[in-house]
């Protein structure tokens, strides 16, 4: 089995360098429907959408509403997975919909969460604690701008917690930077090569992630994902040369597309060799086998004479000759390789000369 992670052979490139596509993931909840946000891969836990006590007005009034109206309550809103590159900022507006119990506690913490569910806090805001409001009036709108200083693949999670009987939190106008660049990897294979394994370098083995594989454009072979690990796909490549693009698309939570990887693969034609032998060989003479190669030199031809005396011819010439010693009966062509691939022998693999008896004048009488 041949395994290729990233690109084991950077022998060719049929695509221009991929630019960084700096996009923005945003959510303003103005559609006013939780299922619309969920379709866009947002996750709601004790969070709804409402226009009550809105941060904005009119058509922009709908917002996320965290119901932490009770004792020891919490709620979460999680974004889709985002590829961060250490630049840009996460921006959002938030406030309490109503002031709560004077001696209560209410707090908003923002995390980044990796594919294995590990959280790292990037923002913390306490609305009220033991009769104090350390960040100003809880019902006043707060606008946040969190500089992105990390790189990697994360969800952003807004997590509210409260010790109160009278607390509702609001969130709106979210924007986040997102690198949507399709990862590009390269490979070169030989025509007909089988069981070649590909795996995106940025793939994850987390249980809720899977990978879909397909060719973009012409199909370059058959695709089989490995049982129990569809991060890896085995390709049996076609028997003809050409350029193909194999795409892997990461999915999670059933219907959410994540990172994409395009494998640009160049399929090389396998080399061939044809040979012919001298038409006329006189008994006791040496003879010549003419060799013609296809493919990309240099070539290596292994042959043997009379079933033994195995020899190797290395040459950069597409047409060359082998001198065979006098008295030899036949030549076997055993294998052919060029600079990249093993090849095939076309025509006769065994060549035997037809020897002609040397002329004789017969007896001379005086």
Inform me whether the pLDDT recorded for 162 exceeds 90: no
Asked if 248 and 204 count as a contact pair (C-beta separation under 8 A), the reply is no
Q: Is 289 helix (H, G, I), strand (E, B) or coil?
A: strand
| pTM as predicted | 0.79
Tokens of residue 354, six digits: 């037809």
pLDDT at 357: 79
pLDDT at 18: 42
Identify the burial level of 72 via C-beta atoms within 10 angstroms of its C-beta, where 0-12 means exposed, 13-18 middle and 19 or more buried.
exposed
Among 2-11, 253-262, 335-344, which stretch is predicted with the lowest mean pLDDT?
Answer: 2-11
Mean predicted confidence (pLDDT) in 43-54: 92
Inform me whether the pLDDT recorded for 15 exceeds 50: no
Distance CA(67)–CA(63), nearest Å, equals: 13
Tokens of residue 86, six digits: 């250490």
Higher local confidence (pLDDT), 167 or 106: 106
pLDDT at 364: 61
pLDDT at 9: 36
Distance CA(97)–CA(144), nearest Å, equals: 17
Inform me whether the pLDDT recorded for 16 exceeds 50: no
Higher local confidence (pLDDT), 196 or 354: 196
Q: Predicted confidence band at 73 (pLDDT cuts at 50, 70, 90)?
A: confident
Mean predicted confidence (pLDDT) in 92-101: 82
Q: May I ask the CATH architecture of the domain 272-356?
A: Sandwich (2.60)
Q: Predicted confidence band at 13 (pLDDT cuts at 50, 70, 90)?
A: very low
Distance CA(123)–CA(11), nearest Å, equals: 46
pLDDT at 202: 85
Mean predicted confidence (pLDDT) in 159-166: 82
Mean predicted confidence (pLDDT) in 8-27: 50
Q: Predicted confidence band at 69 (pLDDT cuts at 50, 70, 90)?
A: low
* Domain positions in the chain: 2-18+182-268, 23-179, 272-356
Q: Do domains 2-18+182-268 and 23-179 have the same CATH topology?
A: no
In tens, the pLDDT along 249-290 reads: 999 987 899 999 999 999 999 999 999 987 678 888 889 999
Q: Predicted confidence band at 327 (pLDDT cuts at 50, 70, 90)?
A: confident
- Look up the CATH number of domain 23-179: 2.60.120.200
Name the average pLDDT for the chain.
88
What's the CATH number of domain 2-18+182-268, 3.40.50.620, 2.60.40.10, 3.40.50.720, 3.40.630.10? Answer: 2.60.40.10
In tens, the pLDDT along 175-193 reads: 999 998 899 999 999 999 9
Distance CA(260)–CA(105), nearest Å, equals: 43
Distance CA(20)–CA(179), nearest Å, equals: 7
Q: Using DSSP, how many helices (H) and how many strands (E) does the chain show?
A: 1, 30
How do beta strands 299-305 and 344-345 pair? unpaired
Helix, strand, coil percent values for the chain (each to nearest 5): 0, 55, 40
- DSSP letters for 26-70: EE--TT--HHHHHHTT-EEESEEEE-TT-SS-GGG--EEEEE--S
**Cβ partners under 8 Å of residue 132, min gap 6:** none
Inform me whether the pLDDT recorded for 98 exceeds 90: no
Q: In what order do the strands lie in the sheet with 2-5?
A: 2-5, 196-199, 229-237, 221-226
Asked if 102 and 144 count as a contact pair (C-beta separation under 8 A), the reply is no
Q: Is 237 helix (H, G, I), strand (E, B) or coil?
A: strand
Among 97-106, 112-121, 130-139, 268-277, which stretch is predicted with the lowest mean pLDDT?
Answer: 97-106
């Amino acid at each position: 089995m041949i395994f290729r992670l990233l690109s084991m052979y950077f022998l060719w490139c049929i695509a221009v360098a991929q630019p960084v596509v700096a996009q923005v993931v945003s959510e303003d909840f103005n559609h006013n429907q939780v299922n619309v946000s969920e379709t866009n891969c947002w996750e709601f836990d004790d969070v709804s959408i409402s226009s009550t006590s809105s941060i904005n007005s009119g058509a922009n009034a709908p917002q996320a509403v965290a119901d932490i109206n009770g004792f020891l309550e919490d709620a979460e809103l999680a974004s889709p997975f985002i590829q961060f590159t250490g630049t840009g900022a996460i921006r959002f507006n938030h406030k309490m919909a109503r002031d709560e119990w004077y001696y209560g506690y209410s707090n908003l913490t923002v995390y980044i969460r990796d594919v294995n569910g590990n959280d790292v806090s990037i923002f913390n805001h306490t609305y009220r604690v033991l009769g104090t409001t350390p960040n100003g009036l809880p019902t006043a709108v707060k606008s946040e701008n969190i500089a992105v200083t990390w790189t990697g693949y994360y969800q952003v999670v807004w997590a509210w917690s409260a010790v109160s009987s009278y607390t509702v939190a609001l969130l709106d106008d979210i924007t986040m930077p997102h690198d949507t660049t399709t990862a590009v990897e390269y490979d070169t294979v030989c025509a007909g090569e089988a069981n070649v394994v590909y795996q995106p370098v940025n793939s994850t083995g987390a249980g809720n992630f899977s990978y879909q594989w397909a060719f973009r454009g012409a199909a370059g072979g058959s695709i089989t994902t490995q049982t129990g690990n569809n991060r890896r796909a085995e390709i049996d490549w076609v028997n003809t040369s050409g350029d193909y693009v194999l795409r892997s698309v990461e999915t999670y939570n059933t219907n959410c597309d994540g990172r994409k990887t395009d494998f640009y693969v160049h399929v090389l034609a396998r080399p061939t060799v044809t040979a012919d032998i001298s038409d006329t060989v006189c008994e006791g003479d040496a003879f010549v086998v003419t060799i013609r190669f296809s493919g990309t030199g240099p070539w290596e031809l292994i042959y043997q004479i009379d079933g033994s005396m195995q020899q190797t011819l290395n040459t950069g010439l597409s047409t060359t000759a082998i001198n065979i010693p006098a008295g030899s009966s036949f030549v076997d062509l055993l294998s052919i390789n060029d600079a990249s691939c093993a090849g095939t022998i076309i025509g006769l693999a065994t060549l035997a000369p037809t020897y002609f008896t040397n002329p004789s004048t017969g007896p001379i009488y005086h």
